[in-house]
Chain A
Amino acid sequence: MLDATTKEMKPRLSGGVINPAKTCQPIGAMYAALGIHKCLPHSHGSQGCCSYHRMHLTRHFRDPVMASTSSFTEGASVFGGGANLKTAIKNVFTIYNPDIMAVHTTCLSETIGDDIPTIIKQSEVPDGKLVIHASTPSYVGSHITGFSNMVKGAVTYLAEATMEEKKEQVNIIPGFVNPGDMREIKRMAKVMGVKNIVLPDTSGVLDSPMTGEFDMFPKGGTKIAEIVDTGNSKMSIALGSFASSDAAYALERKCKVKPAVLKTPIGIKATDEFLMTLSSNFGKEVAKELEEERGQLVDIMTDTHFHFHGKKVAVFGDPDIVIGLTEYLLSLGMIPVHVLTGTPGSKFETEIKEMLARAGIEGSNVKAAGDLYTFHQWIKNQPADLMIGNTYGKYIARAEDIPFVRVGFPILDRSVHSYMPIVGYKGAMRLLEMISNALLDRKDRDSADEDFELVM
């Protein structure tokens, strides 16, 4: 497995990527648009992108992922895709009848410079229907950037400050996380008694139930009226600076909604901060129910600390998730030895390095805009006891025989994960169970008969 990967690390000067730890913007935009109720995402480019993005999301969620495309041909690529988008808008509203189309772009339409707002203005959009857009050039950032751009696009087009005084409600931008996480974030806000608008919200869309009928626009998704109303909220909490802060700042600029950028609430510390932010801004005490959950989590952490304490962990994935995870791993007494994201941005390295320094950990590898080839080489040179990352990590886990916990996007080879949270105290418990199980399964597998333990 991956036999051509060498232990010796030669300098990589080309700037090319071998086995990426990121993908391109539009898939993030498509995912964000699916978190709007009765919205059809639209990919303005050649149709290959749209098929790939639908395919990939479908494989992660095992649920239908609908989106349309402008289906560029060579002619449109040279002379502009205006006619394609106009035809698409007419067809989409006639045939599929969404309430809103959310258009994103690809490297094709960005390179030729199609002026989307003008094309939308010239299009036949039926009364009461909406078309919004976000520029999502694939050659900038990653899928996380695309998610961020689409959420920003949604509030820029739709949010309005219509009231004199702000409402006692919070906008929560959950970031590029699973529907299971969005449900958990909503539950926590509800238990706290804070009225909230979660945008985008793919719960009820990409974890929809089997009823025997296919519903092209499932029950879930943030309603358009709610998106409009985000302009009236007292504050926005952006969970994960890479995926969510831009939209929160856009709301501040457009509607004077106060922004707070927090970590994705993975682990005990980041969850504490999330709840305390809600508590202090809305004058609500942290609910007993959540305090009890926190206590349960600490109880488990203490009960099982000998399962994982001091173990070396290699972790990769999307920046907001990896930042949260790293903080949690540190709070468990584990040692993150390799920390990598494919998404560019110096903030990642700064934050991780600060955390490691505070914990007194030296000599770890930390990299943004890295790839899994580098990550694998790091492991060859400095082995880890555990690896955490998305499905693509399984090749390295097999090659190096490392216990592997699947977290993040995409997970293509296991199911149920998208229904279960990794955020909040509940999610932290689940992560802890996954980590412990992986390590103990390995211990069981490797131990001699006479050392095989019944109680662990």
Chain B
Amino acid sequence: MALSKHDIETRKKELEKFLDAYPAKTKKNRRSHIVVRDSSLEEQQIIEANTRTIPGVITNRGCAYAGCKGVVLGPIKDMAHIVHGPIGCSYYAWGTRRNKAKTKDGEVNLINYAFSSDMQESDVVFGGDKKLAAMVDEIVETFKPKAVTISATCPVGLIGDDIGAVAKAAEAKHGIPVMSFSCEGYKGVSQSAGHHIANNVLMQRVIGSGEIEEAEGKYAINILGEYNIGGDSWEIERVLKDIGYHVVSVMTGDGSYETLKNAHTAELNLVQCHRSINYIAEMLEEKYGTPWLKVNFIGVQSTIESLRNMATYFGDPALTQKTEEVIARELAAVESKLEQFKKICDGKTAFCFVGGSRGHHYQGLFKEIGIDTVLAGYEFAHRDDYEGREVIPDIKLDADSKNIEEIKVSKDEKRYKIRILKERLDQIKDKIPLSYYGGMIKDMPDGSIMVDDLNHYETEEFIKILKPDILASGIKDKYVIQKMGIPSKQLHSYDYSGPYAGFRGALKFAEDITMGFTSPTWNYITPPWKQKPILDGTVTEGGK
């Protein structure tokens, strides 16, 4: 629902008013992280993003360790992920993100384990290298993982433990890859730094380390930036496999060292979460010539569009026909049921504030069940996720992020292949987002608000102004919002439901959202004695 020019101005004024509560410096900073969408402006609207968090504002952000170990590495099930640090970091990333994984009998599955060097005071004083090395030995001998990752935490960088050297020695000793990740929590300004650090090492050490030259099936693809929360990637794969695609690897939901190492054999890389995996997507293209396609399997229409774009890329009439058949079948199974839920949700409004990609992806799904997103944002996305990849040349790395290593890959002389001829590439590039992501802003209606690194104060103030019917956010916000009598949907953990991706996922999402609105519990918030006078008698005008 787009707002008029006048209403946009009013909204901006309201915004300005509540920013006044901030100390001057904080106000100046926060103003540049909030944009009221106005497509009538001549220049593209810019949002400040990926800059340091202001101390004390109550951010929702986490750290680089969470982005590296918690998000990207953790889901890889046949590797042992050892956390070098005091116990907390390992403990909090143990089973708390719902990246599902399963294996056949006899295969390594370490998804329910947490491995920590459990640093003690003496390790901080005298160094923890030796303990870490002993821990790696113990884990490799006991658990026989396919590979090992070592993730650094805050104190590791400060005391100067050389985890790279430990990894190298362990690798020589055990004959399996042992990789170190310098993802100390203070690196960068958010989880984002951790994604980058994880991407670098996976690209250097795992991807392409397999022997296979050709994929085992036709239409070979990788799904990048999909972590199988609540079974999302299984639902996506169900449909893709039905159409005839061969999924080489998923990065990294239900992922394995065994599949990741042959990711170079795919013909196309699908990118679901742009923020966390675009580095690998770019490097795969550079090194092996594999193009990437931005997809979105959240929402029925986005899923259909993504499937059609994939068919366009491969350009095979048989594949296209099968694509349409599967779309028709899946659509028939969910469409009428979605309508039922839409009747209840129609006309409502939502906030959609999630990590680095769902803030955008879920807006379409909300819209399909009749809900307008009036405010959306990310904790840790960069300007390209908000504004589109065309702004990448304009993004300046600031002091807080410049120490995150940028690695360069070059053409693999043996394996580099031109997957798609230049002429054809040019032809389809206009039709499908090949090696391109347009960002969130283009899909948002005028007057809606885009916020980067939304904090607690702003959440409360925006609720007062915009009076949303539902908030999509995370666990730290959930009960704050519900206390106000507003339904809250966790879009990180899906409130332990899911999958939400693909056709069936859209239906499950609609069902859950509707349940959020129709639960009878909301009717009991105000006690009856506060709704009507308890004492019998008449109240006369003026209280006399």
CB atoms of B185 and A108 under 8 A apart: yes
Q: In the complex, A54→B456 CA distance in Å?
A: 13
Q: Which residue of B is nearest A11, CB measured?
A: B138
Known contacts A17-B118, A48-B66, A74-B186; is-contact A107 B85 (Cβ 8 Å): yes
- Contact of B62 with A by CB under 8 A: yes
CB atoms of A59 and B483 under 8 A apart: no
- Contact of A448 with B by CB under 8 A: no
**How many inter-chain contacts with C-beta < 8 Å in the A-B complex?**
260
Q: Which residue of A is nearest B59, CB measured?
A: A47
Q: In the complex, A323→B78 CA distance in Å?
A: 38
CB atoms of A139 and B57 under 8 A apart: no
Q: Which residue of A is nearest B455, CB measured?
A: A95
Q: In the complex, A53→B158 CA distance in Å?
A: 22
Contact with B along A39-50 (1 / 0, CB 8 A): 000100111110
Stretch at the interface among A22-30, A180-188, A262-270, A301-309: A22-30
Known contacts A16-B134, A45-B154, A210-B525; is-contact A69 B55 (Cβ 8 Å): yes
Q: Of B59, B90, B482, which contacts A71 at CB under 8 A?
A: B59
- Contact of B460 with A by CB under 8 A: yes
Q: Would you give the shortest CB distance from A140 to chain B, in whole angstroms?
A: 5
Q: In the complex, A59→B339 CA distance in Å?
A: 33
Q: Of A17, A77, A87, which contacts B56 at CB under 8 A?
A: A87
User: Which chain A positions have C-beta within 8 A of B400?
Assistant: 73-75
User: Which chain B positions have C-beta within 8 A of A92?
Assistant: 56
- Contact of A58 with B by CB under 8 A: yes
User: Which chain A positions have C-beta within 8 A of B158?
Assistant: 77-78, 108, 111-112
User: Which chain B positions have C-beta within 8 A of A72?
Assistant: 185-186
Q: In the complex, A310→B493 CA distance in Å?
A: 42
- Contact of A19 with B by CB under 8 A: yes
CB atoms of A77 and B154 under 8 A apart: yes
Q: Would you give the shortest CB distance from A15 to chain B, in whole angstroms?
A: 5
Q: Which residue of A is nearest B159, CB measured?
A: A111
CB atoms of A42 and B56 under 8 A apart: yes
Q: In the complex, A13→B135 CA distance in Å?
A: 8
Q: Would you give the shortest CB distance from A241 to chain B, in whole angstroms?
A: 21
User: Which chain B positions have C-beta within 8 A of A106?
Assistant: 154
Interface residues of B in 149-196 (CB under 8 A from A): 153-155, 157-159, 184-189
CB atoms of A138 and B22 under 8 A apart: no
Stretch at the interface among B31-39, B105-113, B220-228, B311-319: B105-113
- Contact of A311 with B by CB under 8 A: no
CB atoms of A111 and B109 under 8 A apart: no
Indicate the member of A70, A108, A373 with the most B CB atoms within 10 Å: A108
Q: Which residue of B is nearest A61, CB measured?
A: B479
CB atoms of A55 and B124 under 8 A apart: no
Stretch at the interface among B91-99, B251-259, B276-284: B91-99
Q: Would you give the shortest CB distance from B190 to chain A, in whole angstroms?
A: 8
CB atoms of B114 and A15 under 8 A apart: no
Q: Would you give the shortest CB distance from B398 to chain A, in whole angstroms?
A: 10
Contact with B along A60-87 (1 / 0, CB 8 A): 0011111111111111111000001101
Q: Of A26, A94, A111, which contacts B22 at CB under 8 A?
A: A94
CB atoms of B485 and A212 under 8 A apart: yes
- Contact of A20 with B by CB under 8 A: yes
CB atoms of A18 and B114 under 8 A apart: yes
Q: In the complex, A175→B389 CA distance in Å?
A: 53
User: Which chain B positions have C-beta within 8 A of A395?
Assistant: 112
CB atoms of A55 and B526 under 8 A apart: no
Interface residues of A in 86-116 (CB under 8 A from B): 87-92, 94-96, 106-108, 111-112
- Contact of B232 with A by CB under 8 A: no
Given A4-B113, A55-B474, 4 more A-B residue pairs with CB atoms under 8 Å apart are A13-B138, A52-B66, A87-B55, A94-B23
* Interface pairs (29), CB distance under 8 Å: A4-B109, A14-B137, A15-B134, A16-B117, A16-B134, A17-B90, A17-B116, A17-B117, A20-B87, A20-B118, A27-B88, A58-B476, A64-B483, A68-B56, A68-B57, A69-B53, A69-B59, A73-B52, A74-B188, A77-B154, A78-B158, A88-B55, A94-B26, A96-B58, A96-B457, A107-B155, A138-B87, A139-B86, A210-B482
Q: Which 3 A-B pairs have the closest CB atoms?
A: A48-B63, A88-B56, A24-B88
